[in-house]
Amino acid sequence: MAQCPVEILIFSGKRKSGKDYVTDIIKERLSGVCSVLRLSGPLKAQYAQDHNLDLSRLLDATEYKEKYRADMIAWGESKRSADPGYFCRIICTGPGSEKPIWIISDARRRTDVEYYQTEYPGQVKTVRVEADESVRRDRGWVFTSGVDDAESECDLDETNFDLVITNNGDSELLENALTDLIEDIRSKLAV
């Protein structure tokens, strides 16, 4: 079983908002004490196995993943309907779970957040990465019916987050938000 983390940062945001970009920066700056845990990892691994697909290509940001996204979402929803904490539990005992800071980089549902808040009370901070639609389009986002209007993209839209990071390309604004967040994390590690 994994050690109990000092803090769990649960990130969410729309497609092409820059969640991975932001969480990768944090991981780099907290090298050695932080790991990025992706709920989509075990989902994609099992989906690839069940459908005889290339897992490495499902894990990157290519058209290959986009081709299967809608079906993968439906498949994942069926798993979550049967057990809302299924994917959450898997990453809690997988690689990286020994680190004191966990970044869940891709929360998409209220049940994801509720799982961690219940299992790790007082250790969870929710973070929303936001970017304007025009910025997301510049990054390659195209509205896709059945994906962008699905629960996997919209379930957390009305959630009150502990922190909102705006990622519209203003590097100074982003840097200030990340600096404050990282200082807060480091202060918890020093306790």
Binding residues for substrate, by number, are 167
Cα torsion through 54, 57, 58, 62, rounded to 10? -150
Annotated binding site: 14-20, 139, 167
Record the tokens describing residue 82, joined without a space. Answer: 């049967």
Q: For residues 46 and 167, what is the distance between their CA atoms, to the nearest angstrom?
A: 31
Query: DSSP class of residue 13?
Result: -
Choose among 155, 146, 128: nearest CA to 13.
128
Burial of 119 (0-12, 13-18, 19+ CB in 10 A): middle
Annotated binding site for ATP: 14-20, 139
